[in-house]
Structure 1
Amino acid sequence: MTGQKGATGRVEQLTGLRFFAALLVFAVHFRWDTSPEALRTLAQQGYVGVSFFFMLSGFVLTHSYGRRIRAGQVSFPSYVLLRIARLTPLHVLTGLPFVYFAIVQNEAIYSEAFGVMKTLLNLSFLQSWVPVSDYYFSLNAPSWSLSDEMAFYVAFFFLVTLAPRRLLRLTLGLGGVVLISALLVQVFLGETRFFGKYPLSHWLFYVFPGFRILEFMIGMLLHDLWQRGKRLPAGLIPLSYLLLFAAMWIAPAVADPFRYSLFYLPVIMLFFYAHLSERSAWTGFYASSLLVLLGNASFAFYLIHQPMLHLMNLFLRGAMPADAVFFPVSLGITVVASVLLYKLYEMPAERALKGLIRRRFATPRPQAERV
């Protein structure tokens, strides 16, 4: 989406906001060696950026495909293939090096993430359905969220045909299931580990697509509100930042099943929807050409940031041990690499694949923001 023009217009600021969300995730995986404890506490909660991505996906897919799917103008096979074409080029490119290092270099850090079944599940976008961390964090670990996204894409084709009230009831019902499950897991299982390095609660409430689709469905509902012209005052945008960072500050005191699932939802909903306000300096900033470029490159940034940080920790960290120096340097290098990857590989590969699919199914290109 590029530019905001009424309920059917395009919303460039959402593209720019993608970079802010990706930056939060980057902060999670950055090794904070010399920073104050307060900064570390906030950075450790940066995974909340994934919630924003999931909510954004529901919003944008509804904007891009909702009417056409309901009108029968898009077939299920063409739609699914287009979504696969969106994710596959970067997913494969960032996953295969882990296979190489595991087999050829025999490096233990990569070998843990490699195996024939793990690789097949990962490259098929199925790894997040397996409640074992070695599987859902296989190959390039951040790709677990792509497995969730692919599940959301398939479900969306059917969810978008529901009336808004029915979708609302379904969303509330799923929220109730998540709440009851969190209570039961907290009381009876706690930090119990059955497989892998993490408790079952980590997979069930942070990774499991059947629960994480809640954020995606909320994004669909928010699009219905936005399309009907409902807006929040632009003055709520600064408040949404304060509430977000306050929630990140107190989050460590919240039990994992709730922190991974429901705790951040109200804050992210407000943060997301407040930025849909029109004629605001905040939205103007995120809709600027630079932020839109960074937002478009945020998918590449998200997928390469963890291996990039690993390499930079190996080869650069010793020369700049202070976080105040190493953080902007490592961030800058990752941003440049992601923009180049977006321009030189991701976009050409995606266009080529989608072009083939559209010619085969005679499917027009939706005028919407990339998800």
Structure 2
Amino acid sequence: MTPAAAQRFVVLDSFRGLCALSVVLFHLHIWQSVGEWRFFRSAGLLVEFFFVLSGFVMAHRYYQRSMNGAGFGDFMISRSCRILPLHFATLLLMTALVFLRPVLFAEFTVEDLPDLFWSEGVRTQWVYNALLLQGWLPDANLFSFNGPSWSISVEYYIYIAFGLIVLWANRHSTAVFAGLVALCSLTTLLANTQIANSPGLRGLTCFFLGATIYALHLRIRQLHLARHWATLLEAATLLALYFMVAMKYPHKSYWATWGFAAAILIFAGERGQISAWLKHKPFLKLGQWSFSIYLVHFILLYIVNVLFAHYYPAWLKQVGQVRYIDSGSIALNNALLLLIVAGVLLCARWSFRWIEQPGMRLGKYWQSRRTRPALILAGAKI
């Protein structure tokens, strides 16, 4: 790996962690809490940021590098061992919770349980989730088990497409990425709403836009910008991001994707004071745990809602299609929010250590086992 490819964008890692935490608040409905602020009510849009950033980081790692068949194999081992262990762990845990709930709380009779556990619909959705197909198939329920994993299903197959493009196009990959962005953009702007908002198209547009702008990053990273001007630019970018996420406008997902791409270009330089603050340990830890925060939080929120439904039903209130938790006290509601967020962070810390890191070590071990040293005979390499 070249020194450039070995560089880590720690500020962007911190952003990933903050965005993951914002998605937690997006899914957490506690009445009159900070989670109900306008920005967090639209924070589901930040999934687009994850896609764009993933494309940018993948392009950074493989920019101007040739990939052969063995390299593609190593790439897929690396990506699979990075995301599949936590995906399968959370899927199995969520499956157990969904099936145990009616047993523990006697919501169904014994005669009803076989239909609940083995109905065709449940089996089909579970297989979609296990194979990471729920983000691609029109009859799949995105939130049938661990809801946020729909974006992982989209990203995993985009990784395969990315690897194949690098394998076949080699040093012309950026041109292919740009062509895909143009094609996806036309489809988004001209197709009907169902197609334009489909998870797969959103993921493709975002990811390959991120991969495309990496070449632009290489061109502008040497530009000199005084620290105070860089700080001002970063502050203006954060303000623009706030309004971009919070406001309503046509094709919001698509246009926000370009805003996220611009923000990534600006903060990849890490030149301003805001970037310096985002290099502090708490933000770096959030970035390190971001994948676990994203996949684990939905399970914890499911448990919280089930417990409230059975033990504190008076604290639940239905407003339209949203069910809120409301203790009757604004202070207590916000304290409960902080407690749940702390629980998510604790679980994320644990899953990063015991699931993600062993998975990454497995990937490196698997790659090392695939490596075969060249046979050297009489001073000649064969």
**TM-score category by the smaller chain?**
0.7 to 0.9
Q: What is aligned with 1:339?
A: 349
Q: Could you say what secondary structure the match of 2:265 adopts?
A: helix
Please state how far the C-alpha of 1:354 moved relative to its aligned partner: 3.5
Give the Cα–Cα distance (whole angstroms) in 1 for the partners of residues 273 and 121 of structure 2: 46
Question: Which residue matches 2:110?
Answer: none
CA displacement, residues 181-222 of structure 1 (integer Å, 9 cap, x when unaligned): 1xx33xxxxxxxxxxxxxxx3xx4444323421110111112
Ranges in structure 1 where 5+ consecutive residues have no aligned partner: 186-200, 364-371
Please say if 1:142 is aligned against 2:139.
no
Uncovered stretches (5+) of structure 2, i.e. residues with no partner: 108-115, 316-324, 374-382
Q: 1:295 aligns with which of 287, 290, 306?
A: 287
CA-CA distance at 1:348 after TM superposition: 1.7
Q: How big is the shift at 1:44? A: 1.8
1:234 shift after superposition: 4.0
* 8 A Cα contact 1:28 1:43, kept in partner: yes
CA distance in 2, matches of 1:221, 1:143: 25
Match in the other structure for 2:131: 124
Aligned to 1:14: 12
| C-alpha spacing 1:133/1:244, structure 2 compared with 1 (3 Å) | farther
Structure 1 moving runs of 4+ over 6 Å: 5-8, 110-114
Question: After alignment, is 341-350 or 213-222 more displaced?
Answer: 341-350
Does residue 55 (structure 1) correspond to residue 46 (structure 2)? The answer is no
Conserved 8 A contact 1:174-1:214: yes
Q: Show CA shifts across 1:57-109 (max 9, x none).
A: 111111223344x253853233222211111110011011222234444478x
Alignment-derived partner of residue 376 in structure 2 = none
Is residue 140–residue 303 contact of structure 1 (8 Å, CA) maintained in 2?
yes
Asked if the contact 2:297–2:344 (Cα under 8 Å) also holds between the matched residues in 1, the reply is yes
1:367 alignment partner in structure 2: none
Q: Of residues 306, 327, 338 in structure 2, which corresponds to 1:328?
A: 338
Alignment match, 1:45: 42
Matches of 1:180 and 1:279, distance apart in 2:
39
Taking a change above 3 Å as real, the CA distance of residues 122 and 166 of structure 1, as seen in their structure-2 partners, is closer
The residue that corresponds to 2:63 in the other structure is 66
Q: 1:31 to 1:345 in 2, by over 3 A?
A: same
* C-alpha contact 2:95 2:145 (8 A) present in aligned 1: yes
Deviations 1:90-134 (A, max 9, x none): 0011011222234444478x9799722222221111121112352
Aligned to 1:80: 76
* Structure-2-length-normalised TM-score: 0.77
Superposition TM-score, scaled by structure 1 size:
0.79
> Bigger shift: 348-357 or 319-328?
319-328
Structure 1 residues 332 and 250, CA gap change in structure 2 (3 angstroms): same
- Superposed CA offset, 1:214-242 (max 9, x none): 11011111211122344684422111121
Q: Return the match for 2:96 from 82, 97, 100.
A: 100
Tell me which amino acid in the other structure corresponds to 1:42.
F
Q: In the alignment, which residue of structure 1 is the partner of 2:301?
A: 309
Pairing partner for 1:221 from 212, 215, 218: 212
- 1:294, CA displacement in angstroms? 1.6
Distance 1:129 1:6 in 2: 34
Q: Deviations over 1:163-195 (max 9, x none)?
A: 5345323312321121101xx33xxxxxxxxxx
Q: For residues 360 and 165 of structure 1, what CA distance do their matches in structure 2 show? A: 31
Seen in structure 2, the aligned counterparts of structure 1 residues 236 and 114 have a Cα distance that, compared at 3 Å, is farther
Residues 58 and 216 of structure 1 are in contact (CA less than 8 Å); yes or no, is this contact kept in structure 2? yes
**Which residue number corresponds to residue 28 of structure 1?**
26
SS across alignment from 2:349: helix
Cα RMSD, aligned residues only: 3.1
Using the TM superposition, give the Cα deviation of residue 352 of structure 1 relative to its aligned residue in structure 2, in angstroms.
2.0
Contact preservation (8 Å) 2:189, 2:196: no
SS of the residue aligned with 2:145?
Answer: coil
Q: What is the rounded CA distance, in whole Å, between the counterparts of 1:289 and 1:205 in structure 2? A: 39
Q: Which residue identity lines up with residue 131 of structure 1 in the other structure?
A: P
Contact 2:86–2:356 at 8 Å: present in 1 too?
A: yes
Say if 2:252 is the partner of 1:238: no
Residue 273 of structure 1 aligns with an amino acid whose one-letter code is L
1:279 lines up with 2:234 in the alignment: no
Aligned residue type for 1:305: H
Deviates more, 1:118-127 or 1:144-153: 118-127
Counterpart pick for 2:159 among 153, 156, 175: 153
Of all paired residues, the percent bearing the same amino acid is 23
Instruction: Report the Cα distance in structure 2 between the residues aligned to 1:362 and 1:333, rounded to whole angstroms.
Output: 45
**C-alpha spacing 1:101/1:73, structure 2 compared with 1 (3 Å):** closer
Q: CA deviation at 1:150?
A: 0.7
Distance 1:270 1:240 in 2: 8
